């Protein structure tokens, strides 16, 4: 064991410690969680607004795009998990070993995408539909939600456990909505169109929808941007692979903080370790496939079918929160007043849970990078950095709401652009990291390498097209 020289580079950050890979769990259900958290956080405005809006405009002929996007992200997530399973470090820490500031670049882009509190005002607006609250009161509902999120994330003894429970409840509620929709609202014709949309009826491009809308829908089906990177943090807190050696993120107020190295570990590629690795890798792939990929696609497909069954072809529908109001009102008139209320209640709770997940993953990425790369030798813990980032995001969001700003279109465009650029760049970095920093026996290769190359080409194309489109709008 002592003769093994770690392959993780140590020029920028301290070297990793050599330890044996922990034993994998005997039962797969014990590690179910990170994929569901990823799916649950990702089930936000895209699944409730964008994909149903597309179905309302052109039917289900583009639903194949969701499948392509989710499969692509499954491959990306597994390469993010590969590095963390093998080292206990996050992918951002691995990138920072290649260039000191890579982690900070991604953190800044994630924060730029999420600082504007549109993700919580959407939930607050749906509460307004339920209560009949005046438009101006939505701001105060959103501020209250921000404070609840910050308190929940910074007072929970083990933060991941609290987030996991919230997401599990969200997914259960969405499942209830889907079951009720299948029984009372989704038509037989929509099932036929779903099958056609995945086979002979698939179309691209799909007039009258803009090319950028369609490409963006594929790119962000499931998750997207910084959220994929947080799979490292979530599986580490769940105790996957070498992450078992890293203390979990806890509240500095109610949790028990443990001293920990700011960098990770690596196992020697012995026969015993490689046998354990194969089991961990199998479990991780099953967990991501059966939770993140399956839940994301089923939700997108059925919410799109619900929209197709109720508002397909209705003129004047907006690709915004107003779409949910129209859909809820249509459900009230076609099925019954109770169903429209149920739709808004579950939608509001689901979007609130997504908002909580967005604050969590943004703060995790920031706190891990800041502590590991820039405050490595300082006495402040990663838990306290996380606390500070959560409350900073909350206060910025509250300030924006109090100033009465609406979310301008340019910020929405920038958010989407940042996500596309992030996924383009970190797909490249994942290929380099998982081929150079890991032992030959567990490096990325064959069809998984081809999938990452596809990701680079796809998100690179999306980035270029977005830049060209926005330049044309600005300069005419």
Q: Over the stretch 167-207, which tens digit does the pLDDT of each residue have?
A: 999 999 999 999 999 999 999 999 999 999 999 899 888 88
- Count of the separate structural domains present in the chain: 1
Q: How many CB atoms lie within 10 A of CB 358?
A: 24
Sign of CA dihedral 408, 411, 416, 417: positive
Average pLDDT of the residues in 41-69: 89
Q: Is the pLDDT of residue 1 over 50?
A: no
pLDDT tens, residue by residue, 337-365: 999 999 999 999 999 999 999 999 999 99
State the burial class of residue 415 (Cβ atoms within 10 Å of its Cβ: 0-12, 13-18, 19+).
buried
Q: Is residue 273 part of a domain?
A: yes
Angle 379-384-387 from CA coordinates, rounded to 5°: 165
Q: Is residue 8 part of a domain?
A: no
Going by C-alpha positions, the residue among 395, 420, 345, 299 that lies closest to residue 41 is 299
How many Å from the N-terminal Cα to the C-terminal Cα in the chain?
Answer: 64
The separation between CA 34 and the C-alpha centre of its own chain, rounded to angstroms, equals 11
Q: Is the pLDDT of residue 314 over 90?
A: no
Query: Strand, helix or coil at 259?
Result: coil
> What is the model's pLDDT at position 47?
82
Q: Is residue 79 part of a domain?
A: yes
N residues, the chain = 476
The better pLDDT of the pair 295, 418 is held by 295
**What are the structure tokens assigned to 119, written together?**
């993700």
465 pLDDT tier (thresholds 50, 70, 90): confident
Q: Is the pLDDT of residue 473 over 90?
A: no
What Å distances lie between residue 152 and 141, 146, 378, CA to CA? 16, 10, 27
Across 104-113, 232-241, 278-287, 416-425, least confident range: 416-425
Beta-carbon contacts of 472 under 8 Å, excluding residues fewer than 6 positions away, are none
What Å distances lie between residue 59 and 55, 113, 203, CA to CA? 4, 30, 11
Residue 263's domain spans which residues?
17-475
474 pLDDT tier (thresholds 50, 70, 90): low
Q: Is residue 10 part of a domain?
A: no
The better pLDDT of the pair 175, 133 is held by 175
Going by C-alpha positions, the residue among 390, 335, 336 that lies closest to residue 359 is 390
Going by C-alpha positions, the residue among 368, 158, 359, 129 that lies closest to residue 253 is 158
- Map tokens 């014990």 to a residue: 30
4 pLDDT tier (thresholds 50, 70, 90): confident
pLDDT, mean over the chain: 89
114 pLDDT tier (thresholds 50, 70, 90): confident
**Which stretch of DSSP H or E encloses residue 476?**
none
What Å distances lie between residue 340 and 21, 67, 324, 334, CA to CA? 51, 28, 10, 9
> What is the model's pLDDT at position 118?
80
Reduced 3-state DSSP string for 101-166: CHHHHHHHHHHHHHCCCHHHHHHHHHHHHHHCCCCCHHHHHHHHHHHHHHHHHHHCCEHHHHHHHH
pLDDT tens, residue by residue, 6-37: 999 988 999 999 999 999 988 777 778 899 89
Q: Is the pLDDT of residue 75 over 50?
A: yes
- The CATH number given to whatever domain includes residue 314 is 1.20.1740.10
320 pLDDT tier (thresholds 50, 70, 90): confident
> What is the model's pLDDT at position 342?
94
Going by C-alpha positions, the residue among 48, 59, 267, 1 that lies closest to residue 173 is 48
pLDDT tens, residue by residue, 230-270: 999 999 999 999 999 998 888 887 766 665 666 899 999 99
Angle 276-279-281 from CA coordinates, rounded to 5°: 110
Q: Is residue 11 part of a domain?
A: no
Q: Is residue 145 part of a domain?
A: yes
- Map tokens 């969405």 to a residue: 174
In this structure, what is the dihedral angle of CA atoms 169, 170, 174, 177, given to the nearest 10 degrees?
60
Query: Strand, helix or coil at 235?
Result: helix
Helix, strand and coil content of the chain, in percent to the nearest 5, comes to 70, 0, 25
Q: Is the pLDDT of residue 449 over 60?
A: yes
> What is the model's pLDDT at position 323?
85
Q: Is residue 9 part of a domain?
A: no
Q: Is residue 280 part of a domain?
A: yes
Rounded to whole angstroms, the Cα distance separating 98 from 76 reads: 19
Contact 395, 359 (CB under 8 A): no
Going by C-alpha positions, the residue among 229, 262, 224, 231 that lies closest to residue 415 is 224
């Amino acid at each position: 064991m002592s003769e093994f020289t770690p392959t993780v580079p140590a020029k920028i950050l301290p070297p990793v410690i050599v330890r044996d890979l922990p034993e994998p769990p005997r039962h797969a259900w014990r590690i179910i969680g990170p994929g569901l958290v990823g799916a649950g956080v990702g089930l936000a405005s895209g699944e409730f607004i964008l994909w149903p809006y597309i179905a309302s405009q052109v039917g289900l002929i583009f639903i194949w795009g969701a499948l392509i996007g989710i499969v692509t992200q499954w491959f990306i997530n597994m390469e993010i998990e590969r590095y963390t399973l093998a080292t206990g470090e996050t992918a951002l820490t691995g990138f920072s070993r290649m260039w000191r500031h890579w982690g900070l670049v991604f953190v800044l882009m994630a924060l730029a995408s999420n600082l504007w509190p549109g993700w919580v005002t959407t939930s607050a607006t749906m509460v307004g539909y339920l209560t009949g609250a005046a438009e101006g009161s939505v701001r105060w509902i959103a501020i209250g939600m921000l404070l609840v999120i910050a308190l929940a994330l910074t007072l929970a003894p083990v933060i991941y456990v609290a987030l996991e429970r919230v997401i599990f409840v969200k997914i259960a509620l969405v499942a209830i909505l889907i079951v009720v929709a299948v029984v009372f609202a989704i038509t037989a014709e929509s099932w036929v169109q779903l099958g056609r949309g995945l086979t002979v009826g698939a179309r691209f491009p799909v007039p009258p929808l803009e090319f950028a809308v369609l490409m963006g829908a594929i790119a962000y089906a499931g998750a997207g941007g910084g959220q994929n990177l947080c799979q490292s943090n979530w599986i580490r807190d769940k105790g996957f692979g070498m992450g078992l050696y890293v203390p979990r993120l806890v509240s500095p107020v109610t949790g028990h903080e443990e001293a920990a190295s700011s960098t990770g570990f690596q196992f020697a590629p012995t026969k015993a370790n490689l046998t354990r690795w194969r089991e961990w890798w199998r479990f991780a792939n099953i967990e991501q496939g059966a939770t993140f990929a399956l839940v994301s696609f089923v939700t997108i497909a059925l919410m799109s079918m619900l929209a197709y069954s109720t508002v397909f072809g209705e003129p004047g529908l907006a690709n915004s929160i107003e779409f949910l109001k129209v859909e809820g009102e249509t459900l009230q008139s076609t099925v019954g007043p109770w169903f429209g209320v149920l739709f808004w209640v579950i939608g509001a709770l689901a979007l609130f849970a997504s908002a909580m997940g967005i604050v969590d993953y943004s703060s995790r990425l920031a706190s891990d990078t800041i502590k590991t790369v820039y405050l490595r030798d300082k006495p402040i813990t990663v838990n306290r950095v996380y606390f500070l980032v959560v409350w900073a995001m909350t206060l910025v969001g509250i300030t924006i709401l109090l100033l009465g700003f609406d979310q301008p279109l340019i910020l929405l465009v920038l958010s989407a652009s940042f996500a596309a650029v992030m996924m383009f760049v970190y797909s490249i970095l994942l290929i380099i990291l998982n081929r150079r920093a890991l032992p030959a026996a567990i490096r990325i290769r064959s069809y998984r390498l081809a999938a990452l190359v596809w990701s680079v080409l796809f998100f690179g194309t999306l980035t270029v097209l977005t830049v060209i489109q926005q330049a044309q709008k600005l300069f005419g």
